[in-house]
Amino acid sequence: MANSVIPVIAIDGPSASGKGTVAQRVAAILGFHFLDSGALYRLLGLAANQRGVALTDESGLAQLALAMDIRFEGEAIWLFGAPVGDELRSEHAAAAASQVAALPAVRAALLDKQRAFRQAPGLVADGRDMASVVFTDAVCKVFLTASAEARAERRYKQLIGKGMSANIALLLQEIRLRDERDSQRSVAPLQIAPGAALLDSTPLSIEQAVEEVLVRYRAACKE
């Protein structure tokens, strides 16, 4: 199957909107591959820390991004042959990811890595610019959002559930700062892509949000 005809469902949205969980479940239901693009930026931040590359060193980070050996196996992630644990989901990793994602050379270096996930029978990709930059020809584009308060609460429950410490007030502050940083960066800012459907998940359960995405995908396939 030619790469251009392999269907892609692109789910973008702000931090902690639930897009990763929704995308993963949609992929499982459809039997599609799954790309957590945010994990690539988190992995780069982690690799930079391991190898002593400053998060402000755009050239060094871009070179590291090209060299990164990443492997996804279900929910397990491997970086340079070593398994990555819950540290990848920490607030520190999230902040580092947002910082390096603002660098144009880094985004360019990771573009081909992201597009390589497009394999038959299809792909569900989640991130900030999946529909607007990486997969502009996606058959279904969704911008999944939620109120900052709802996202902070979800993030808090996620961290506590993993046995990690968390402060909901600080999480809310960080989410608002990250929203501002992601929406105002010069390259691939967080935005609703042309043709994308806005889905506010604030009042929805994960199951309801998944069903809403599936409804939109099936409708798009009939057009």
The answer to whether 26 touches 206, Cβ cutoff 8 Å, is no
The answer to whether 121 touches 73, Cβ cutoff 8 Å, is no
**H-state helical runs in the chain:** 19-30, 37-51, 58-67, 91-100, 104-115, 148-161, 168-184, 206-222
Written as six digits, the tokens of 207 are 């199951």
The answer to whether 14 touches 143, Cβ cutoff 8 Å, is no
21 among annotated binding-site residues: yes
17 among annotated binding-site residues: yes
- Separation CA 214–CA 9 (nearest Å): 10
3-state secondary structure (DSSP) of residue 83: strand
Instruction: Report the chain's terminal Cα–Cα distance, integer Å.
Output: 21
14 among annotated binding-site residues: yes
- Separation CA 199–CA 103 (nearest Å): 28
Q: Using CA atoms in the order 74, 78, 83, 84, what is the torsion angle rounded to 10 degrees?
A: -90
Written as six digits, the tokens of 148 are 């900052």
19 among annotated binding-site residues: yes
13 among annotated binding-site residues: yes
Q: Give binding residues as ranges.
A: 13-21
Q: Which residues fall in the annotated binding site for ATP?
A: 13-21
